Structure 1
Amino acid sequence: MPVSMQVIYPITEDSHFDYDYYTSTHMALVAEHFGPHMQSAQATKGLAGGPKTPPAFHAIATIVFADQDAMKAAMANAGPVVGDIPNFTNSKPHTLIGEVIA
């Protein structure tokens, strides 16, 4: 059963996020270190939380793995990816790992 990992970067009063660095450098690190183990990866930039409502999140990254073993293998290589986070944001990310059901 496929497994997804979502990394969610909340917006706070004093948070910042460098989208250029994130898309050009950080996502390349994700591909380099997780690539052999993941099925897909995408990043979504927050634009709104609804009509006339600002977004609650800078971005959400969604990475899909074939199964939990593939995710565990990718996470064994996560050091450089996690260590890169302060280079593009001071937002403390939340993570959701789940079973892909649809």
Structure 2
Amino acid sequence: MYRNHNAGVLQDKLLVYNFKDGWGPLCEFLGEEVPDKPFPRANIGASIIREYMETHPIMIRMMREMMFSLGVITVIGVYGGYKIYRNPGNIKRWSEAVLTRVKFW
């Protein structure tokens, strides 16, 4: 689609532009003078994505839910570790019970 579009545009009406080039090529193409202001660089180092991840309501909710899930998994793991520490003989019984109830093959 990109190539088809560019093929149909007259060469003097087509600007293939790289933002790293700054104002020069853009102003020359538009027939304008180069402004005194520095070229705007709003997305340095993908800062827009980082800002989106930190401020968008959906991303904030996802982070909260992820932290809650991590907390629940940690509590379950610590509790399981405590139960195993208190009675190591139960490991064999628990693993046998799981293996008899769950069919892997």
TM-score for the superposition, normalised by structure 1: 0.21
More strand, by proportion: 1
More helix, by proportion: 2
Higher radius of gyration, 1 or 2:
2
TM-score for the superposition, normalised by structure 2: 0.21
